[in-house]
Amino acid sequence: MLTNLSIRNYALIDDVNVSFSDGFTTITGETGAGKSILLGGLSLVLGKRADLSTLKNKEQKCIIEAEFEVSKYKLDKFFAEHDLDYEDLTILRREILPSGKSRAFVNDSPVVLDVLKKLGEQLIDVHSQHQTLQLTENEFQLKVIDALAKNEVNLDNYAKRLERFKKAADQLQELLDFQSNSTKEQDYNSFLLQELETVSLKEGMQEELETEYGQLNNVEQILELLSQGHQLMNDEQLGLLGRFSDLKHIFQNLSGYGDSFGELNQRIQSVFIEMDDISGELERLKDGVEANPEKLNEVNTKLQQLYDLQKKHQVASVSELIAIRDELSEKVGLVEDIESKIKEKESEVARMEEETEKWAIKISKARSAVLPKLKKMLQESLYGLGMPSATFKIEVNPSNSFKINGKDNLTFLFSANTGSDFGELKKVASGGELSRIMLTIKSILAEYEHLPTMMFDEIDTGVSGEISNRMGEIMQQMGNTMQVFSITHLPQVASKGKQQFKVFKEEGANGTTTQMKILNADERISELAEMLGGKALSESALAHARQLLQ
């Protein structure tokens, strides 16, 4: 419930700070006193967009704060989702700066306007002419029926199944689209894959082939160089091995004359062994080198294949070709396996559709069961509101498609007079009739679901006498289970309030300002008497006012 409202520097308001209680509260005041200004300020803190024209003093910022008791609203999840600190006493604040910028806060945490608006919608329902038009929309009408049918659990289960069904259906469509597009490319991708697989790609193969090609293509020069090396090692007179053998014998003889000669002798012996091994390796390499034109042609062909593939796929290495091969293999494999995946997904979609259909049927049956009760409640309530001949024709029929709230098409027709044809509310009901129907529906909803604070803005316009008295009683009754406000010009309605506030203008040194105050018992009598008979308070008007309050 709304416990406190503070408005500073807004329109004609300098500074207004008022506290509210539970139950039914009425707000009165002369035409033009500023009741709409008060409502406008409240709308700002609930997320309505603002501009500089809202500032009374253009040099100062406008600040509006609303304090709500929210312990019964089950908003913990909302606060967690938006990373807000939850408090049982939650404060919404809106600031409009002289620069035109606007800031919003929830419990001193800055929020975007959309979050403030979504939270505000769950805290207070401001009934205006615009909201009366909701009455003519099927979505709102179904909400009323579902409240009576206690369809909350059914709707929750339906929504979960519908989400899964839609997700599965989207996945099936993606597979079908993939199949359609991929079939066109399948032959080409298969050809490219086969071309790459023929080469038997592996890491490092290009380097190996290029090395082998270099050797096969230069056999004569390699053989000549190996021969020259072998000759340098083994020439009888000048060969390195022969000369080094002589050096080895010299140091063998020297080694007996001291450790330093012995160590040097060992090093020379090691070098001689290594040179002898090198000589043997040169011999083996020289004997193994031979011209092989066929092998050279084979290696050249493989290399040319690699170069052609790299050019074709615009890459520079075998590693990149391997990556392309693997990607093509996956694409080709997916297309080859797509039929089985589509059949599997089709079965899943059918199963999800069947489950969603079951919950849609439960919702529809529950709705149909309460329609006679809703029709009776509406007609009986409207009878006391000056619409004795009001009748409704309400039906739900299954449609061919799933909707956000079930699978029903709703027929909600109205006739205000006996013998008149039934028609849609927006076409056959007047503004006054719509207001009375909306009040009736809100009172019904208050019995079946936990509504937020309700603010009625002159819902009683155009009625008087006993009808206005009955409308006041309905709002008073709603106030037994929830917080209800009514901005009214009718004393019959104003008198039903648990508390009554007056909005009035006050002339001062700084111009005209709008004020608001709670009325005590005597002030209420005077206010009601003035509403009944004008500013000249007659004894009869005062007596009537006392009677209304009693």
Q: Which pLDDT band holds residue 133 (cuts at 50, 70, 90)?
A: low
Please state, as a whole number, how many other Cβ atoms lie within 10 Å of the Cβ of residue 477. Answer: 15
pLDDT at 374 over 90: yes
Q: What is the pLDDT of residue 6?
A: 95
Tell me which DSSP letter residue 496 carries.
Answer: T
CATH code at 469? 3.40.50.300
In a domain, 50, yes or no: yes
How far from 249 is each of 233, 259, 280, 284, CA to CA, in Å? 18, 17, 21, 28
* Stronger pLDDT, 236 or 431, i.e. the higher one: 431
Expressed in angstroms, the distance from the first to the final Cα of the chain is 26
Q: Which pLDDT band holds residue 39 (cuts at 50, 70, 90)?
A: confident
How far is residue 24's CA from residue 2's CA, in Å, rounded to a whole number? 12
pLDDT at 107 over 90: yes
Place of tokens 């604040």: 93
* Stronger pLDDT, 286 or 201, i.e. the higher one: 201
Mean pLDDT of 130-137: 71
Q: What is the CA radius of gyration of the chain?
A: 46
pLDDT at 525 over 70: yes
Q: What is the pLDDT of residue 303?
A: 87
Query: Are 483 and 538 in a shared domain?
Result: no
In percent, the amount of the chain with pLDDT more than 90 equals 41
Domain final residue pick, 304, 322, 337: 337
Q: How do 124-127 and 453-457 pair as beta strands?
A: parallel
User: By C-alpha distance, which of 445, 437, 391 is closest to 413?
Assistant: 391
pLDDT at 130 over 70: no
Please state, as a whole number, how many other Cβ atoms lie within 10 Å of the Cβ of residue 317. Answer: 12
Q: Which pLDDT band holds residue 38 (cuts at 50, 70, 90)?
A: confident
* Number of domain units in the chain: 3
pLDDT at 129 over 70: no
Supply 480's token pair: 């037994």
In a domain, 170, yes or no: no
Determine the residue type at 539. E
pLDDT at 17 over 90: yes
Tell me which DSSP letter residue 421 carries.
Answer: P
Q: What is the pLDDT of residue 393?
A: 93
Kindly give, in sequence order, each residue whose CB lies less than 8 Å from that of residue 294, ignoring residues fewer than 6 positions away.
none
In a domain, 133, yes or no: no
Q: What is the pLDDT of residue 26?
A: 95
Mean pLDDT of 513-524: 92
Query: Are 535 and 508 in a shared domain?
Result: no
8 Å CB contact between 431 and 467? no
Query: Could you please report the per-residue DSSP string of 374-392?
Result: HHHHHHHHHHTTT-TT-EE
* Stronger pLDDT, 348 or 425, i.e. the higher one: 348
3-class secondary structure for 84-152? CCCCCEEEEEEEECCCCCEEEEECCEEECHHHHHHHHHHHEEEECHHHHHHHHCHHHHHHHHHHHHCCH
The half-sphere exposure of 132 on its side-chain side, counting CA atoms within 13 A, is 22
Query: Are 212 and 123 in a shared domain?
Result: no
In a domain, 439, yes or no: no
Q: What is the pLDDT of residue 300?
A: 86
Q: What is the pLDDT of residue 189?
A: 79
8 Å CB contact between 425 and 140? no
β-partners of residue 413 are: 393, 424
How far is residue 108's CA from residue 93's CA, in Å, rounded to a whole number? 8
pTM of the predicted structure, to 2 decimals: 0.67
Query: Are 214 and 75 in a shared domain?
Result: no
- DSSP reduced 3-state for 402: strand
pLDDT at 550 over 90: no
Q: How do 24-28 and 391-403 pair as beta strands?
A: unpaired
Query: Are 120 and 190 in a shared domain?
Result: no
How far is residue 212's CA from residue 193's CA, in Å, rounded to a whole number? 27
* Stronger pLDDT, 371 or 139, i.e. the higher one: 371
Sign of CA dihedral 527, 529, 530, 535: negative
The overall average pLDDT reported for the chain is 88
Q: What is the pLDDT of residue 20?
A: 94
Q: What is the pLDDT of residue 131?
A: 63
Query: Are 503 and 532 in a shared domain?
Result: no
Q: Which pLDDT band holds residue 292 (cuts at 50, 70, 90)?
A: confident
Query: Could you please report the per-residue DSSP string of 153-200?
Result: HHHHHHHHHHHHHHHHHHHHHHHHHHHHHHHHHHHHHHHHHHHHHHTT
**Residue 456, by phi and psi: left (phi above 0), alpha (psi -120 to 50) or beta?**
beta
pLDDT at 369 over 90: yes
Widest CA span in the chain: 153
Q: Which pLDDT band holds residue 340 (cuts at 50, 70, 90)?
A: confident
Query: Are 184 and 243 in a shared domain?
Result: yes
Supply 490's token pair: 């009718």
Mean pLDDT of 158-175: 95
How far is residue 362's CA from residue 176's CA, in Å, rounded to a whole number? 32
Query: Are 252 and 105 in a shared domain?
Result: no
How far is residue 82's CA from residue 504's CA, in Å, rounded to a whole number? 39
pLDDT at 474 over 90: yes
In a domain, 284, yes or no: yes
**Residue 308, by phi and psi: left (phi above 0), alpha (psi -120 to 50) or beta?**
alpha
Domain final residue pick, 337, 370, 400: 337
Place of tokens 């091969």: 325
Query: Are 468 and 504 in a shared domain?
Result: yes
Show the domain range for 192: 178-337
Query: Are 80 and 220 in a shared domain?
Result: no
pLDDT at 545 over 80: yes
296-317 pLDDT, tens per residue?
Answer: 888 888 888 888 888 888 988 8
In a domain, 312, yes or no: yes
Burial class, 45, CB count within 10 angstroms (exposed 0-12 / middle 13-18 / buried 19+): buried
Mean pLDDT of 460-484: 88
Query: Are 187 and 282 in a shared domain?
Result: yes
Q: What is the pLDDT of residue 27?
A: 94
User: By C-alpha distance, which of 416, 370, 432 is closest to 142?
Assistant: 370
* Stronger pLDDT, 259 or 347, i.e. the higher one: 347
Q: Which helix (H) or strand (E) holds 480?
A: none
Domain final residue pick, 337, 371, 395: 337
Least confident of 340-354, 360-374, 425-439: 425-439
Query: Are 283 and 306 in a shared domain?
Result: yes
Mean pLDDT of 277-290: 80
Q: What is the dihedral of CA 78, 83, 87, 92, to 10 degrees?
A: -80
Burial class, 253, CB count within 10 angstroms (exposed 0-12 / middle 13-18 / buried 19+): exposed
Side by side, the strands of the sheet bearing 109-111 are 13-19, 2-10, 62-69, 89-96, 102-106, 109-111
pLDDT at 295 over 70: yes
In percent, the amount of the chain with pLDDT more than 70 equals 98
* Stronger pLDDT, 19 or 73, i.e. the higher one: 19
In a domain, 4, yes or no: yes
In a domain, 265, yes or no: yes
486-502 pLDDT, tens per residue?
Answer: 999 999 999 999 999 99
**Residue 261, by phi and psi: left (phi above 0), alpha (psi -120 to 50) or beta?**
alpha
